[in-house]
Amino acid sequence: MNIMKTRITELLGIQFPIVEGGMQWVGRAQLAAAVSNAGALGMVAARTQPTPDRLRHEIERTRELTSKPFGVNLTLSLTASDVNYDAWIEAIINSDIRIVETAGNNPQPVIARLKEHGIKIIHKCTSVRHALSAERYGADVISIDGFEAAGHCGEDDVPALIMLPALGKALKIPFIASGGIANGRSMAAALILGADGVNMGTRFMLTQESTIHDEIKRVLVAATERDTVLIKRTLRRTARFFNNRVSQEIIELERRSGGAGYDDLQHLLSGQRGLEGLESGDIAAGLICASQVIGLVDDIPTCADLVARIVIECREGLERTLARFDR
């Protein structure tokens, strides 16, 4: 049977140790099901949906499209500590979801609630110290974002080449590499560095089943690894986005004398503006989340073709590496 066996595949019941990133506005039923049907783990982004009831509907749609395992991403607010997630958690539990990815703020209360129902927890972190905290809270898997990653990549600026072996020394539970994973060579490197699998967001965003506008896909595929920028540095909420007019305006405001506060940037950080751009194809309409991995992407395949290609390239890369020492 065509499988890759790691702690991740055994724990999550998937063929290949590849997880779709929980991307807001992108992690919808069509993409999640396509990723899962390809033998990886698809991920529905809960907060893409306007209400918990709409999340239930999106989960039902995903089940209509795949019989394979998939998960739900629940991103916790980084800017507010008083958000109530009870209705979202109930929607996940009542929909019989078995895998949840948490991200953002302190996940301890959410992890406790979900684990009461036997749900496996993947927690996304940006540092070894946060990963160790999540392990203590009961997370089953850590998804670790290196400095290359899209979205919130932490404040320590540590790339995957350092982060992964450091995490391998510190953690007892499995972990997956996130940020900079685009192909089989990237995956092979992550496995050699100690990861049990990989997480891909931007790469899955640039597939045929992704529902973002084709013009956005075209622009990102044509971009290089130098076409992302870091914003919200002055807020200590550093995040990586595509370099467009909106991200540049944010940087300019942050560079001004005295810096910029959240209120100064709120109109530019609007998720609704980003959604409108992804749907309309207007690359300058709002923020577009993208990893430095865009410099490695040059096509828009189906998820099935992408996963198959990555697995073949990964195996070939590992075999070539071993062969060099067998001579």
Instruction: Identify the burial level of 177 via C-beta atoms within 10 angstroms of its C-beta, where 0-12 means exposed, 13-18 middle and 19 or more buried.
Output: buried
Q: What is the pLDDT of residue 302?
A: 98
Q: Cβ distance 247 to 263 under 8 Å?
A: no
Across 24-30, average pLDDT: 97
pLDDT band, residue 259 (cuts 50/70/90)? confident
Residue 222 CA to residue 110 CA, distance in Å, equals 39
Strands 18-20 and 42-45: unpaired
- Residue range(s) of every CATH 3.20.20.70 domain in the chain: 7-211
Tokens standing for residue 294: 């865009």
Residue 40 has pLDDT above 90, yes or no: yes
Q: Which residue has the higher pLDDT, 18 or 263?
A: 18
Across 297-314, average pLDDT: 98
Tokens standing for residue 153: 């990549």
Residue 258 has pLDDT above 80, yes or no: no
| Residues in the chain, overall count | 327
Q: What is the pLDDT of residue 80?
A: 64
How many alpha carbons fall within 13 Å on the CB side of residue 204?
A: 34
Residues 251, 255, 259, CA angle at the centre, nearest 5°? 110
Residue 36 has pLDDT above 90, yes or no: yes
For residue 83, what are the CA distances in angstroms to 86, 110, 154? Answer: 9, 12, 21
Q: What is the pLDDT of residue 264?
A: 86
Strands (E), 4-84: 18-20, 42-45, 70-76
Of 234, 78, 236, 73, the closest CA to residue 154 belongs to 236
Q: What is the pLDDT of residue 137?
A: 96
Topology given in CATH for the domain delimited by 7-211: TIM Barrel (3.20.20)
Residue 308 CA to residue 199 CA, distance in Å, equals 15
pLDDT tens digits along 96-137:
999 999 998 889 999 999 999 999 999 999 999 999 999 999
pLDDT tens digits along 161-180:
999 999 999 999 999 999 99
Q: What is the pLDDT of residue 325?
A: 81
Across 219-225, average pLDDT: 98
Q: What is the pLDDT of residue 1?
A: 46
Across 301-323, average pLDDT: 95
Across 14-29, average pLDDT: 97
Q: What is the pLDDT of residue 2?
A: 79
pLDDT band, residue 4 (cuts 50/70/90)? very high
Q: What is the pLDDT of residue 79?
A: 66
Strands 197-200 and 239-242: unpaired
DSSP 219: H
Q: What is the pLDDT of residue 327?
A: 61
Across 284-293, average pLDDT: 96
Amino acid letter, residue 91 = A
Q: Cβ distance 86 to 110 under 8 Å?
A: no
Q: Cβ distance 126 to 152 under 8 Å?
A: yes
Residue 214 CA to residue 220 CA, distance in Å, equals 10
Tokens standing for residue 215: 């013009």
**Percentage with pLDDT > 70 across the chain:** 97
Q: Which residue has the higher pLDDT, 2 or 190?
A: 190
